[in-house]
Amino acid sequence: MPRASSSSSCRASREAPQRRPLRWAAPSTAVMKFAGLAGGIGSGKSTVAARLVERGAVVLDVDQISREVQQPGQPVYRAMVARWGDAIVGPDGALDRQAVAHRVFADHDELAALMAITTPAIEASIYARVAAHHDTDRVVVLEAALLARNPRLYGIAGLIVVDVPEELAIRRLVTGRGMLERDARARLANQPPREARLQAADFVIDNSGGLEALDEQVEAAWAWLGSLPDGRLEARPSPAGPSPPATGAG
């Protein structure tokens, strides 16, 4: 009896640490909502994103992620410097994005090399960050200018497109951001047409009014996000899939 008792208590104490994690890891019924946020340059994506965050959304900015994986010390940084040399490193040791852009955008092979170096790391980071919220009741929004080219990337359930007439976007970029008008025009000319974005949209935010009008639309978008089906994160079919959402050198 003492033995049995001691053996059973011994078993209990060995099993306990295994049972506890199982109980803690019991499947949650919550599943995230998963959406995309796209729009032309200067359309107001960041302004909308900030308002969604105020309402409780988790916004993942693909351009920001792309910059993070290119920080000094990261494998992507080392691979880029190994290929293009110190000419792409600024005086502070960080990548000189202009120099990178200069190196790759006129040369298809170099651009393909940049994609091959950066895309897997960007995708892995996006995937991990979205996955961290999968079994929660959060609204997860992936913000990327080019998502309209592939609105269901990563299993996104719905795409919000922020829309403004091009002349208004240019005016805001010049007055609000201090961008040179010719640079704003050049960047706008480089992006897919407004109509293509609108066609890809599941929900359009018209940002041609003031900030108060924008708030009302963000409120409607927030309600729409809550009505999306439960999110299902999917791996991107790379490398044969469509263009990635960001190159990190634009």
Complex with ligand ATP: residue 65 or 89, whichever CB lies closer: 65
CA 213 → CA 198, 206, 217, 219, 231, distances in Å?
A: 19, 9, 7, 10, 29
Complex with ligand ATP: residue 133 or 172, whichever CB lies closer: 172
Q: What letter does residue 35 receive in the DSSP assignment?
A: E
Which phi and psi angles does 165 have, rounded to 5°? -60, 150
Shortest approach of ligand ATP to residue 14 CB, angstroms?
55
Select from 36, 39, 151, 244 the one that contacts ligand ATP (CB under 6 A): 39
The region of 38-46, 65-73, 116-124, 150-158 touching ligand ATP under the rule CB under 6 A is 38-46
Q: Are 143 and 129 in contact (CB under 8 A)?
A: no
Shortest approach of ligand ATP to residue 42 CB, angstroms?
5
Using alpha carbons, select from 148, 161, 160 the residue that is nearest to residue 228.
Answer: 160
Strand partners of residue 233: none
Q: Does 41 bind ligand ATP (CB under 6 A)?
A: yes
Please identify the residue of the shown chain whose CB is closest to the bound ligand ATP. Answer: 176
Q: Does 191 bind ligand ATP (CB under 6 A)?
A: no
Q: Does 248 bind ligand ATP (CB under 6 A)?
A: no
Q: Are 250 and 229 in contact (CB under 8 A)?
A: no
> What are the residues binding ligand ATP (CB under 6 A)?
39, 41-47, 145, 172, 176-177, 207, 210-211, 214
